[in-house]
Amino acid sequence: MSSLKMKYGTWALVTGASSGIGKALARRLAQQGFNVVLVARREQELGVLAKELEAQFQVDTRVVASDLSEAGAVSELYDAVSQLDIGLVIPAAGIDEMGRFLDKDYASLERMLTLNIQVPTEIAHVFGQKLATRKRAGIILVASLFGYQGIPNFAGYAASKAYILTLGETLNVELAKQGIDVLVLSPGLTDTPFSQTMDIDFGKIPMFAQQPETVAKTALAAIGHKPTVVSGLLNKIYAWENRFIPRSWPVNLFGFLINRAIKAFQSKQNAVATVAPSTR
């Protein structure tokens, strides 16, 4: 039995489990012998993953299809799994809102703030009460490298992740007395639909995309040992160097890099659009 399972078993709950980092975390936990509650909106994807995990790792699963941004969704989730002995909770579901702040539709910004801030906070609070009674439990909050500084064109997203970083760092100290290990995982660019669908040419930004499996491995190795972990060496350097320079410098640098990457994406799109008619 893995040391993680001995410490936090028998059930883990992962939101955002239908894709990307959440899915990789769910798979890795099942591999370590955890039964897993899989949460996201797309029931079919969750069902396929559940069957795969049960067959491959002989674990039990529960699927909860839920739009967590809906009012009351977290309480409903809690009620749906209240009979299970959950020892590890990972609210990984998150979305971005790329684009200039004033150009964004406020309703979509609000939806992002709900999913990225309110939902993980409520999950940590509601499930935290129960985890505290177990004495040995864990919570992994998912922030981002972009939570370490302001990022032009990702203003609300970066701010939402800065909130998660601060919340998690604080809970790491506060909940330690109740036996709950809290970790904030900050991925950098990761190869998932989240980054793949952005209108941006990440090749123009000096970053290396990691695989979600690598990010998941980093998180599960760090929980219980540190309050925060940034996945990937270069990402660690980006997060670390910010402490020694004026805060405005990296914000301006990333403003320049991201604008350039958006323009590069747009030029590629325009080139494709101009070539396409003659190739028909």
Ligand X SMILES: NC(=O)c1ccc[n+]([C@@H]2O[C@H](COP(=O)([O-])OP(=O)(O)OC[C@H]3O[C@@H](n4cnc5c(N)ncnc54)[C@H](OP(=O)(O)O)[C@@H]3O)[C@@H](O)[C@H]2O)c1
Euclidean distance between CA atoms 10 and 84, whole angstroms: 9
**Which residue lies nearer to ligand X by CB, 65 or 253?**
65
**Which residue lies nearer to ligand X by CB, 54 or 213?**
213
Q: State the first-to-last Cα distance of the chain, in angstroms, to the nearest integer.
A: 58
Q: Should residue 231 be labelled a site residue for ligand X when binding is judged by CB under 6 A?
A: no
Range 15-74, binding ligand X (CB under 6 A): 15-22, 40-42, 45, 67-69
**Which residue lies nearer to ligand X by CB, 43 or 60?**
43
Range 143-172, binding ligand X (CB under 6 A): 144
Burial class of residue 41, CB neighbours in 10 A (0-12, 13-18, 19+): middle
Range 183-202, binding ligand X (CB under 6 A): 187, 189-190, 192-195
Nearest approach, Cβ of 93 to ligand X (angstroms)?
4
Q: Quote the tokens at residue 62.
A: 């529960």
Nearest approach, Cβ of 95 to ligand X (angstroms)?
5
Euclidean distance between CA atoms 94 and 97, whole angstroms: 10
Q: Should residue 109 be labelled a site residue for ligand X when binding is judged by CB under 6 A?
A: no
Catalytic residue among 8, 106, 148, 157: 157
Q: Should residue 205 be labelled a site residue for ligand X when binding is judged by CB under 6 A?
A: no
Is 157 annotated in the active site?
A: yes
Q: Should residue 89 be labelled a site residue for ligand X when binding is judged by CB under 6 A?
A: no
Tell me which residue has tokens 């670390």.
Answer: 240
Q: Quote the tokens at residue 218.
A: 């980093």
Helix (H, G, I), strand (E, B) or coil at 179: coil
Pick the piece of the chain touching ligand X (CB under 6 A) from 53-61, 90-98, 169-177, 268-276: 90-98
Q: Should residue 124 be labelled a site residue for ligand X when binding is judged by CB under 6 A?
A: no
Nearest approach, Cβ of 31 to ligand X (angstroms)?
18
Q: Is the backbone of residue 65 left (phi > 0), alpha (psi -120 to 50) or beta?
A: beta
Nearest approach, Cβ of 65 to ligand X (angstroms)?
8
Burial class of residue 111, CB neighbours in 10 A (0-12, 13-18, 19+): middle
Euclidean distance between CA atoms 51 and 53, whole angstroms: 6
Q: Quote the tokens at residue 83.
A: 């009979």
Sheet holding 228-230, edge to edge: 61-65, 35-40, 11-15, 86-91, 137-142, 180-186, 228-230
Q: Should residue 235 be labelled a site residue for ligand X when binding is judged by CB under 6 A?
A: no
Kindly determine how many residues on this chain lie close enough to bind ligand X according to the rule CB under 6 A: 29
Q: Should residue 251 be labelled a site residue for ligand X when binding is judged by CB under 6 A?
A: no
Which residues are annotated as catalytic? 157
Would you tell me which residues interact with ligand X (CB under 6 A)? 15-22, 40-42, 45, 67-69, 92-95, 115, 142, 144, 187, 189-190, 192-195
